[in-house]
Amino acid sequence: MAKAPVDQAEGLRRLLASPLPGLCTVLSADADGQKDALMQRLAASMSRRGREVILVDGISAAAAATNVVTSTDAGPQAPAHTLLDVARGHASLDQAGHADADGYRRVPLGADWDDPALAALLKRLAAQQARVLVDATLDADGCLPLPLLADGEVVVQLSGSEASIRTAYEMLRALKDQCAHGSVSLLVTAADPAHARRVHSNLFHAASRYLALSVRSIVPQETLHV
């Protein structure tokens, strides 16, 4: 019987299944676009379970600058309000981004991470009933775009390749001081569960020994079969 792909969002669903609201930032050690599909599946799954989910698109500076929301059905749409517009009082959250057919709201970040109003809005949303998922990258200095993100869950997504593992370790090195009081997790995708556990074990011991950083594992329980 053929093996179906592992449900890459399963581990994150378990991690974020608690009834408490919160903030989760996902970073990627890969450059193949895998994370975007993962986050969409996760947001859709959480929405189906009755959670209010806001997916913040912060990864694309170009998209943030133009504030364009795209649709696979209708092509590019008119410029959309960003989360920054909401933070500055120029729009309501219902006017920002677009409501996805799967039940979550996808909102472009905007061009200015440094605005204090943005941090205040994210903190307020995370303290309410919404689950805020932030698609982000580290800056040129290896820092999270907003210090506030380190107070929530930070997930580093990687595949089982050597290049991805090296990049993930460098990310952990950059995060060790920023997330001293927060939580850092590893999500290994595009690998069978046994290999994912080996990758996590190696990174866990390296982070513990050389970085004094404790990381959690998010791996699927088993490979699905059809």
Instruction: Please give the Cα distance from 171 to 142 (Å, whole number).
Output: 7
pLDDT tens digits for the chain (226 residues)?
Answer: 334 344 455 666 666 666 666 899 999 998 767 788 888 888 888 888 777 899 998 754 334 444 444 334 444 455 679 999 999 999 999 999 999 999 999 999 888 888 899 999 999 998 887 889 999 999 889 999 888 999 888 999 998 889 999 999 999 999 999 987 778 998 888 778 788 888 989 999 999 999 988 888 776 554 322 2
Q: What is the β-pairing status of strands 75-79 and 68-71?
A: antiparallel
For residue 196, the model assigns a pLDDT of 84
For residue 72, the model assigns a pLDDT of 40
